Amino acid sequence: MRKALAALAALLLAATATPASAAPREKWDTRVFSLVPSPGFPAYVHVHTNGRVYAGTYTNPGSSKPSKVFEWTRDGTLLRSWRVPGQHLDEDHGVQVANQTRRGRLVLLETSTRSVLTLDVRTGRFRRVATFPDGAVPNYASWGPGGALYVTDYGQGVIWRLPPGSHTPQRWFESPALEGATEFGTTGIRYRPGRRDFLITQGTVSDGTDSPTNGALYRLPVGAGGKPGAIETLWTSQPGDLPDGFGIGRSGHVYVALAGLANQLVELTATGEEVGRFPDVPLAGDNGSPIPFDTPCSATFLGRRVLVANQSAVQGDASHQAILDVYVGEPGRAPYLPRRARL
């Protein structure tokens, strides 16, 4: 009996002990979640309600490789991938896993055909839902009021709205504030249902309100009947930052990936006050992990960490094209996913 109790006590001690690998992480601790295979150039990282992680890829200018959608487990194990059909491979092409439907289909934005696609991850079936007019560059997407899908346009100063059941995007909001300089236009978008507004990141500002090398975080309220209100600047970036995709923490803080020269993440309060940057020193992207920040494009919450798509857009360094895991010390707010979120 004594031997049995001793053995049981040893088991309990072993079960409650904290292994070295599970030691508490400090804020901004950065690790490699996974490398991104060819064709590389990952963009937004989407954490699905099924518990898995997805990202799409872009390609080098002139490359004829089709884009892919990759799927990982929550611990970064690559499970499978799908080739995106119907792309114009003789043009610049890429796919953003921008969101998902309520039933779990991925919502994809494809640039060469200016299309909204869905991908059923159970069957591998792609479906084209809508096509944007010439000149549009669909970039990020958020569900919003009325179960409509709202899409930013990297090439024009427009927020598009795709109503439920429609195959025709509507020009919902237009503003000089969304006209980017030197082709660096509107990037991330997230609806905050409690505040009835969208947060929107802008790569560069060219409406004369600031230097055209600076980017911004905007607030766009939604009024009665789903009509857009007046756009408001919450935060202005430093020159060359190129604010891109972002995540929202439980505290309301916004974590923005800076895809420009800084190679940093910036933390902002809900009202746009800048409270921190990581790494402290810009440019080199030295984050303490084996892979430095090299065009970090998004910050998507997974637990108390954000997953950052490292695109290496300028250098094209395949060894830097990865998903990085950055601990921020607070849980995130899941993207808005209404019951009518279907395509």
CB 110 within 8 Å of CB 83: no
Looking only at the bridges linking them, the beta strands covering 30-35 and 42-47 are unpaired
pLDDT of the chain along its 343 residues, tens only? 333 333 333 333 333 333 344 689 999 999 999 999 999 999 899 999 999 999 999 876 667 899 999 999 999 999 999 999 999 998 889 999 999 999 999 999 999 999 999 999 999 999 999 999 999 999 999 999 989 999 999 999 999 999 998 999 999 999 999 998 767 899 999 999 999 999 999 999 987 777 788 999 999 999 998 999 999 999 999 999 999 999 999 999 999 999 999 999 999 999 999 999 999 999 999 999 999 999 999 999 999 999 999 999 999 999 999 999 999 999 999 999 999 999 9
| Residue 35 covered by a domain | yes
| Residue 316 covered by a domain | yes
Q: Which residues on neighbouring strands pair with residue 235, listed in sequence order?
A: 217
| Residue 342 covered by a domain | no
Whole-number Cα distances in Å, 209 to 77, 176, 232, 236, 343: 45, 10, 11, 10, 37
| Residue 12 covered by a domain | no
Provide the number of structural domains found in the chain: 1
| Residue 336 covered by a domain | no
Quote the domain boundaries for residue 223. 26-327
| Residue 142 covered by a domain | yes
CB 152 within 8 Å of CB 188: yes
| Residue 7 covered by a domain | no
> What is the greatest pairwise CA distance in the chain?
82
Residue 199 to residue 190: CA distance in whole angstroms: 5
Instruction: For 248-317, give the DSSP string.
Output: EBTTS-EEEEE-STT-EEEEE-TT--EEEEESSS-SS---SSSS--SSB---EEETTEEEEEE--TTT--
Q: What is the CATH number of the domain that holds 276?
A: 2.130.10.10
